[in-house]
């Protein structure tokens, strides 16, 4: 028997349920596997060793550059509605061809791609009532890059949305004291590393998809579309939760979120592959 879900309106509970579904199951690899028809693990085996040598440095540079943008200029961008389709179209325009050189092209494009994603994330944040003139809201946009991926350590510890937020908040709390200081203070460096570790997982999966031979018919533009959609969903879920936390209070929303997690776990436990429900 389920406990009653903390009192949110029917619409807000429906929004939270949507957010929960996307934030707790953010598998970008699963999305790609559905498109290319082949497990992404096969593509990971095909990636050149030299590519992995460049991965960390390029991802960290891109996240550092995006953090600088969030701190120094994002608040000056005129707020607008969430233009998801426009940003998806722009992402498709930067699609690359498949094959051996595609992963290296992906790394070369990454600083531009992350800047485009930041703008899309900012639009979604604004549409959910965030004030991008505040540094706290702009850093919440940066959180999305970490929420979109899960490291092996996250999976082993069964770390969910609130667990990752807590990890990032540890770095954010010190960083908020250094408004405009840039991405070179120790707190910022730790934040960049925590974000890079998770964002890098998604980049590896995307590169792997482009290496799978059967994916030859799947254009780089389509893969970029899936890439953008993935992070837009993460952003929308994240900022739905934050909007509800402002409307009610953080503890009420967290209790409702955890109740959804419990209901999902109980539903999985009650199902038997042999006997059914």
Highest mean pLDDT among 58-62, 203-207, 219-223: 58-62
173 in a domain, yes or no?
Answer: yes
pLDDT, average across residues 14-31: 86
37 in a domain, yes or no?
Answer: yes
Instruction: Look up the domain containing 26 and give its range.
Output: 10-263
Task: Out of 34-38, 200-204, 236-240, pick the least confident.
Answer: 34-38
| The three-state (H, E, C) secondary structure of the chain, written as one string | CCCCCCCCCHHHHHHHHHHHHHHHCCCHHHHHHHHHCCCHHHHHHHCCHHHHHHHHHHHHHHHHHHHHHHHHCHHHCCCCCCCHHHHHHHHHHCCCCCCCCHHHHHHHHHHHHHHHHHHHHHHHHHHCCCCCCCHHHHHHHHHHHHHCCCCHHHHHCCCCHHHHHHHHHHHHHHHHHHCCCCCCCHHHHHHHHHHHHHHHHHHHHHHHHHHCHHHHHCCHHHHHHHHHHHHHHHHHHHHHHHHHHHHCCHHHHHHHHHHHHHHHHHHHHHCECCCEC
Six-digit token string for 170: 């540890």
The answer to whether the CB of 105 falls within 8 A of the CB of 96 is yes
Digit-coded pLDDT (tens) for 44-80: 676 777 777 777 788 888 888 888 887 776 665 555 5
5 in a domain, yes or no?
Answer: no
Cα–Cα distance measured from residue 61 to residue 115, given in angstroms and rounded to the nearest whole number: 12
Digit-coded pLDDT (tens) for 134-174: 888 888 998 999 888 777 666 655 578 998 888 888 776 66
Digit-coded pLDDT (tens) for 166-186: 888 877 666 666 555 555 566
45 in a domain, yes or no?
Answer: yes
Is 0.75 topped by the overall pTM?
yes
34 in a domain, yes or no?
Answer: yes
Within 10 angstroms of residue 34's Cβ, the number of other Cβ atoms is: 9
pLDDT above 60 for 209: yes
264 exposed, middle or buried (CB, 10 Å; 0-12, 13-18, 19+)? middle
Tally of domains within the chain: 1
275 in a domain, yes or no?
Answer: no
Digit-coded pLDDT (tens) for 236-249: 999 999 999 999 99
268 in a domain, yes or no?
Answer: no
182 in a domain, yes or no?
Answer: yes
| 23 band by pLDDT with thresholds 50, 70 and 90 | very high
What pLDDT shows up at residue 251?
95
């Amino acid at each position: 028997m389920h406990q009653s879900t903390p009192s949110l309106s029917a619409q807000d509970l429906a929004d939270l349920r949507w957010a929960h579904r996307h934030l707790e199951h953010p598998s970008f690899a699963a999305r790609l596997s559905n498109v290319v028809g082949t497990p992404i693990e096969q593509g990971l085996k095909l990636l050149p060793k030299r590519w992995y040598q460049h991965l960390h440095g390029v991802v960290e540079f891109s996240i550092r550059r995006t953090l600088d943008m969030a701190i120094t200029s994002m608040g000056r961008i005129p707020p607008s509605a969430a233009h998801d389709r426009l940003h998806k179209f722009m992402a498709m325009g930067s699609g690359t061809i498949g094959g051996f050189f595609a992963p290296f092209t992906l790394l070369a494009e990454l600083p531009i791609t992350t800047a485009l994603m930041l703008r899309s994330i900012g639009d979604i944040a604004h549409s959910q009532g965030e004030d991008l003139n505040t540094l706290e809201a702009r850093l919440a946009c940066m959180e999305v890059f970490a929420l979109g991926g899960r490291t092996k350590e996250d999976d082993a510890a069964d770390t969910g949305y609130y667990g990752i937020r807590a990890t990032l908040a540890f770095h954010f709390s010190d960083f908020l004291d250094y408004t405009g200081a840039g991405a070179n203070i120790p707190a910022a460096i730790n934040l960049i590393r925590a974000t890079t570790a998770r964002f890098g997982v998604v980049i590896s999966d995307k590169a792997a998809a482009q290496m799978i031979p059967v994916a030859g018919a799947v254009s780089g533009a389509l893969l970029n579309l899936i890439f953008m959609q993935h992070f837009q969903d993460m952003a929308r879920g994240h900022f739905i939760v934050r909007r509800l936390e402002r409307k009610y209070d953080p503890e009420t929303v967290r209790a409702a979120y955890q109740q959804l997690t419990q209901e999902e776990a109980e539903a999985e436990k009650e199902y038997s592959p042999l006997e059914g429900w």
